[in-house]
């Protein structure tokens, strides 16, 4: 349960990454034509880690949950992480910060749910994932950037475009972290309405929105309102993605946490056990390093 006041180019927030509105891709194409394409290694996820002012963050250790590896970012903010053998292109993985630089405490701001879609392993200069981090508690500095990105998208694509919904989720997650629950709920509900209209009521992105909204309601203490949303999200994931998909495991875990909050441990336990089984089967985890997330 993510997306300037300085001279940097404005950017759009897409699902799991930021896209700057500049000539980066044209420049990259020219460099490839002159110098040749930099091809990536199979099984390597390339991350570009930046702060909200678009400055690269170095010496931050970031890894992939499950059986994936980790890496420390270099001076240019780049990290190359080895993925589990079972992880393929166009599959989802979850990131986690393992260690921040000295005297810092960074958290991932975007993607807001820490999940990224693994890009093609070819052409590493273009196929990477941008990760935006912020120091814990410094969320206020990111809010105007998300607001600016939202304005750009609404003006260019219209207020009901799915990319607008993605940015609403980013901004709502930020506001939730700042405990501005009422405003965050309004944005989560708007994102849900956009996806239901633009996609379909049973689309996996709709399920993601329901999980987000349910988690927000749980944080507010409205457990009764959160439960039907989380159960509906789980049903959509199971129907559209199959009973053994990692997103099903994550949804099971969310619902289990809600049941724990309600004190219904008898219901929570089998949900957690099933989530654990899915992750073991998916990522090949053994008994020693398996963990419920």
Q: CATH topology for 141-283?
A: 1.25.40
Q: Return the structure tokens found at 108.
A: 């991932």
Residue 18 predicted with pLDDT over 60: no
Q: What's the CATH code, domain 11-139? A: 2.60.40
pLDDT (tens digit, 9 = 90+) per residue, 67-86?
778 999 999 999 999 998 87
Q: Which of 61, 58, 57, 59 is nearest to 70 (CA)?
A: 61
Provide the whole-model pTM.
0.64
DSSP H or E stretch at residue 95: strand 92-99
Say how far apart CA 260 and CA 110 lie, in whole Å.
28
Task: Please tell me whether the peptide bond between 235 and the residue prior to it is cis, using omega within 30 degrees of 0.
Answer: no
d(CA 276, CA 291): 7
Instruction: For residue range 244-281, list pLDDT tens digits in order.
Output: 988 899 999 999 999 999 999 999 999 999 999 988 88
Burial class (CB in 10 A: 0-12, 13-18, 19+), 62: buried
Q: Could you report the per-residue pLDDT of 212-240, keeping only the tens digit for each?
A: 999 999 999 999 999 999 999 999 999 99
CATH 2.60.40 maps onto the chain at 11-139
Q: How many CA atoms lie within 13 A of 90 on its CB side?
A: 0
CATH 1.25.40.10 domain locations along the chain:
141-283
């Amino acid at each position: 349960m993510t997306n300037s006041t300085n001279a940097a180019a404005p950017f759009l927030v897409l699902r799991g990454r930021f896209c700057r509105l500049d000539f980066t891709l044209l420049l990259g194409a020219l460099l490839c034509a002159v110098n040749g394409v930099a091809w990536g290694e199979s099984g390597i996820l390339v991350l570009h880690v930046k702060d909200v002012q678009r400055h690269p963050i170095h010496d931050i250790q970031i890894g992939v949950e499950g059986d994936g590896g980790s890496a420390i970012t270099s001076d240019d903010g780049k990290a190359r992480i080895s993925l589990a053998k079972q992880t393929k292109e166009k599959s989802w993985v979850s990131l986690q910060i393992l260690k921040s630089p000295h005297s810092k405490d960074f958290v991932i701001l975007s993607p807001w749910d820490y999940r990224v879609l693994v890009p093609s392993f070819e052409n590493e200069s273009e196929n990477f994932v941008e990760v935006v981090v912020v120091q814990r508690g410094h969320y206020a500095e990111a809010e105007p950037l998300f607001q600016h990105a939202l304005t750009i998208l609404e003006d260019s694509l219209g207020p009901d475009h799915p990319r607008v919904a993605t940015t609403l989720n980013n901004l709502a997650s930020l506001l939730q972290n700042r405990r501005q629950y009422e405003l965050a709920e309004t944005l989560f509900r708007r994102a849900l309405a956009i996806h239901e209209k633009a996609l379909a009521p049973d689309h996996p992105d709709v399920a993601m929105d329901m999980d987000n909204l349910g988690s927000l309601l749980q944080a507010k203490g409205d457990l009764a309102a959160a439960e039907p949303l989380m159960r509906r999200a789980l049903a959509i994931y199971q129907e559209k993605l199959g009973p053994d998909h990692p997103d099903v495991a994550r949804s099971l875990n969310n619902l289990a946490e809600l049941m724990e909050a309600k004190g219904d441990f008898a219901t929570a336990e089998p949900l957690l056990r099933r989530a654990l089984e899915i992750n073991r089967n998916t990522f090949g985890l053994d008994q020693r390093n398996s963990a419920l997330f």
